[in-house]
Amino acid sequence: MSWLLIIGGNSEIGFAAAKRFASNGFNIHLASRNMEQLHLKKEIVEKSFNVKCKVSNLDVYDLASIKNFVDQSEINPKIILVTAGFLENPEKSYEKIIKINYLNLIEIIESLILKSVNKDILSSIIGVSSIAGEIGKKKNNIYSSSKAGFSNYLEGLRQRLYQENINVITIKPGYVKTKMIKNLSLPKILVSTPEKIGEIIYNSYKEKKAIVYAPYYWKLIMFIYKLVPELFFKHILKKNF
């Protein structure tokens, strides 16, 4: 049976995707920091879906932890799903935001690709970026720029790995009801559930998609948003949107 590896396995979006893939027969490998939470998730996956679930300690912020994880990882995944992310309000830890959302994710993905060379097993790399990376914003300025970098990296990676039959998918969620945004007050109509995004991730894998707005209507919203002149955000819109 094939394995799905989730970098940031404690993420609510990641776990919703894990359940979706497990219900379709995938074994699941969850990697994250909080081992207690990971063991609870392992139990749920194994009991509910009758597949194997492995858990590993990985701190995306720490290069030594990344090296240790990659060196020790014995399973060759068919799919790598990257859902680790860090949002801070107000933003103070610039280096941490950039490393967890962008720089260190590259370190992990590149190391895992090197490790899987000639094994012919890896077929998809799915990165969860964000609509926040589409445009510079007053609010979450550093987070947005790190997501822009991550989306751009995934785009180039898609081209690099095309000849090797590895499909790279960029998922760009809008607002999703997870612990990451629990303190934000947002219009309910624009907030999706992690389960919905998990379903979109699974379908995007099956359909070998490239760039996916999640849900799809964010593509239209962002198209309109980009038509608004920057002057509007500087002078007229007082809210820190």
Ligand X SMILES: NC(=O)c1ccc[n+]([C@@H]2O[C@H](COP(=O)([O-])OP(=O)(O)OC[C@H]3O[C@@H](n4cnc5c(N)ncnc54)[C@H](OP(=O)(O)O)[C@@H]3O)[C@@H](O)[C@H]2O)c1
For residue 12, give Cα distances in angstroms to 9, 46, 115, 166, 181: 8, 17, 27, 26, 11
| For ligand X, the closer CB: 187 or 229 | 187
Q: Counting contacts by CB under 6 A, is residue 61 touching ligand X?
A: yes
| One of 32, 56, 140, 204 touching ligand X (CB under 6 A) | 32
For residue 3, give Cα distances in angstroms to 42, 88, 91, 225: 14, 32, 36, 38
Close Cβ partners of 74 (under 8 Å, ≥ 6 residues apart): none
| For ligand X, the closer CB: 226 or 236 | 226
Indicate the residue whose CB is closest to ligand X: 85
Q: Cβ of residue 33: shortest distance to ligand X, in angstroms?
A: 4
Q: DSSP for 33-58, please give it.
A: S-HHHHHHHHHHHHHHH---EEEEE-
Token digits for 35? 């081992």
**Site for ligand X (CB under 6 A): how many residues?**
26
Q: Cβ of residue 114: shortest distance to ligand X, in angstroms?
A: 21
Q: Counting contacts by CB under 6 A, is residue 12 touching ligand X?
A: yes
| For ligand X, the closer CB: 40 or 121 | 40
Q: Cβ of residue 214: shortest distance to ligand X, in angstroms?
A: 8
Which strands, in side-by-side order, build the sheet including 124-128? 53-57, 27-32, 3-7, 79-82, 124-128, 167-173, 211-214
Dihedral pair phi/psi, residue 215, rounded to 5°:
-70, 175
Paired strand residues for 28: 4, 53
Cα separation of 192 and 187, whole Å? 11
| One of 2, 24, 33, 211 touching ligand X (CB under 6 A) | 33
Q: List the interface residues with ligand X, window 79-138 (CB under 6 A).
A: 83-86, 100, 128, 130
Of the ranges 43-51, 115-123, 178-186, 218-226, which one interacts with ligand X (CB under 6 A)? 178-186
Q: Counting contacts by CB under 6 A, is residue 204 touching ligand X?
A: no
Judged by the rule CB under 6 A, the positions of this chain that interact with ligand X are 8, 10-13, 32-34, 58-61, 83-86, 100, 128, 130, 173, 175-176, 178-181
